[in-house]
Chain A
Amino acid sequence: MKRREFLDWLTRIVGATVGAFVAYPVVRYLVPPPTPEAATRRVVAARKDEVAPGAFKIFPFGGRPGILIRSADGGYRALSAECTHLGCTVQYNGANKNIWCACHNGVYDLEGRNVSGPPPRPLERYDVHVMGDEVVVEKPVAK
């Protein structure tokens, strides 16, 4: 090997090494650190008189939307408001007494079961407790 060739290779090797030392932290930096799953199990979804009978409210539950529905007789039910199809936020359709997703016309019954349209799975159901003036929604303990 000639001296010039040797120096050419040496330059390439040094360059690649420096490049690798720069690239390694940059690539690691680009990968976002794991964010712990929101530990929220319980949240105050509404005040007691906030949702009229036959109406509904979307509330934040650990960073995701939940839906609180008050039936005509005054009872509450709460479910995940994330459509199981592509994640749009669903709404209560009072006229048809079902839960409807406007994005792709997915329909769930009030138990959260997917009854028509594209949704593949039912909506997750939550427990509702009325505690004093507050409507508290809680994730049921996994059985």
Chain B
Amino acid sequence: MKFAFRTWLAERLSLEPLLHLAQKKEVPVHRHTFWYYWGGMTLFLFGVQVATGILLLLYYRASADEAYESVRFIMTQVEFGWLIRSIHSWSANLMIGAAMIHMFSVFLLKAYRAPREVTWLTGIALLGLSFTFGFSGYLLPWNQLAFFATKVGADITGDLPLVGGFLRKFLLGGDQITGGTLTRFFGIHVAILPALATALVGLHVYLVQAHGMSVPPSVESGGAPVRRMKFVPNFVLRDAIGWLAALGMLALLAALFPWELGVKADPYAPAPPGIRPEWYFGWMFQTLRMLPSRILGIEGELVGILAIGAGATVWVIAPFLDDRQGRGARARFWTVAGVFAIVYIVAFTLMVYMGGHR
């Protein structure tokens, strides 16, 4: 009976090609296999974001008069509301952390090389989307910290040459942060970005399947044939252990450090001390803060923004600049660049939290 139903369902869904793909898929086993888990980890945390985000939508109200109160309602009145919201906030941060680990490991293992340049580009676009998710979601509780962090973020956007003024206005839906901005950020956060992210995640995961897992050049040139393990069930079960650990970690963080709500935003109150962006913007924030006000007669902030923009551009097109196959001097240069980027970002992020004031 059970068997007959399965056959019936399989005929209707015609999942054969997918099942075949899942059974055929293999993962290389070598000393860097550990880094293969971080893409799946990011995807898992994205799933947590989608699930908890949908739940938050049931009680959240996107208006300047009600947003703060509705989040307070979620945190204090709704059963397990504190848990759902805290997991949403913590998981957002862990997801960006996992995505960054994934990106840097891909970079250092040269997994962006041909034919995976487009996979790299879609991954970078997804990280950019994640930052936009974080920036737009940060404002939604409509508290004082978020209000001013958004103001600072929007003003930095406004400093961009040529397009800055337009972008700032486009982002805020006007010249100031108002209830209209909140509605706009809400729409961006729960409709526009999820639609884009779903499409891009689909493309990214498809490309990973199409090209298979990349074997690092250092392993490939070792001579010995690379061992492989089955994706289903061997790799998936290992993935699942990581996800289970992440879920436990989220529950622990949410229970021990529930996400704070703060004070309701008041556009006519002075900015409170300790305004700072989410940690993943911290290194940029710190860089801009440490620049002198004028460099060679140009506004220091602008120089900083342009320099960060130039660095990010080089980072994005690295697959096209790197040695396509080899392990020569050019390849070594990119390894050094990757390590430098990691050290720079870690150091400047830490400075934000260790009182690295000017």
Interface residues of A (CB under 8 A from B): 11, 18, 22, 25-26, 28-33
Chain A residue nearest to B237 (CB atoms) is: A11
Q: Which of B73-120 contact A (CB under 8 A)?
A: 77-81, 83-84
Tell me the complex Cα distance, A25–B255, Å. 13
Contacting residues of chain B (35-77) with chain A, CB-CB under 8 angstroms: 55, 58-59, 77
In the bound complex, CA of A22 to CA of B78 (Å): 16
Given contact pairs A18-B247, A33-B79, A25 touches B58 in the complex (Cβ within 8 A): no
Nearest residue (CB) in B for A7 is: B237
- How far apart are the CA atoms of A29 and B84 in the complex, in Å? 8
Contact (Cβ within 8 A) B84 A25: yes
**In the docked arrangement, what's the CA distance between A32 and B237, Å?**
36
Distance from A10 Cβ to chain B, minimum over Cβ atoms (Å): 12
Within the assembled complex, what's the spacing in Å between the Cα atoms of A34 and B59?
Answer: 13
Residues of B within 8 A of A22 (CB): 247
CB closest residue in chain B, given A22: B247
- Partner of B55 from the list A26, A32, A33 (CB cut-off 8 Å) is A26
Task: State how many angstroms separate the Cβ of A7 from the closest Cβ of chain B.
Answer: 10
Point out the residue from A25, A30, A33 that lies within 8 Å of B77, measured CB to CB: A33
Q: Is B310 positioned at the interface, with any CB of A under 8 Å from its CB?
A: no
Contact (Cβ within 8 A) B79 A31? yes
A33 CA to B77 CA, complexed, in Å:
6
Most-contacted residue by chain A among B59, B78, B237, B247 (CB, 10 A)? B78
Residue of B nearest to A24 (CB): B80
Measured CA separation A85–B134 after assembly (Å): 48
| Additional A-B contact list (8), CB under 8 Å, known A29-B55, A29-B78 | A18-B247, A22-B247, A25-B79, A25-B80, A29-B80, A30-B58, A32-B59, A33-B77
Q: Which residues of B contact A33 (CB under 8 A)?
A: 77-79
Give, as a whole number of angstroms, the nearest-CB distance from A75 to chain B.
38
Cα–Cα, bound, A18→B77 (Å): 25
Give the contacts of B232-282 with A (CB-CB under 8 A).
237, 244, 247
CB nearest to B80 among chain A residues: A25
Minimum distance in angstroms from A17 CB to a CB of chain B: 11
Most B C-beta atoms less than 10 A away, residue of A11, A22, A29: A29
Contact between chains at B244 and A29 (CB < 8 Å): no
A59 CB to nearest chain B CB (Å): 21
User: What is the CA–CA distance of A33 and B80 in the complex, to the nearest angstrom?
Assistant: 11
Interchain CB contact under 8 A, B81 and A29? yes
Nearest 4 Cβ contacts at the A-B interface: A25-B80, A28-B79, A33-B77, A29-B80
| Interchain residue pairs with CB less than 8 A apart (23) | A11-B237, A18-B244, A18-B247, A22-B247, A25-B79, A25-B80, A25-B83, A25-B84, A26-B55, A28-B79, A28-B80, A29-B78, A29-B80, A29-B81, A29-B83, A29-B84, A30-B55, A30-B58, A31-B79, A32-B59, A33-B77, A33-B78, A33-B79
A32 neighbours in B (Cβ, 8 Å):
59, 78
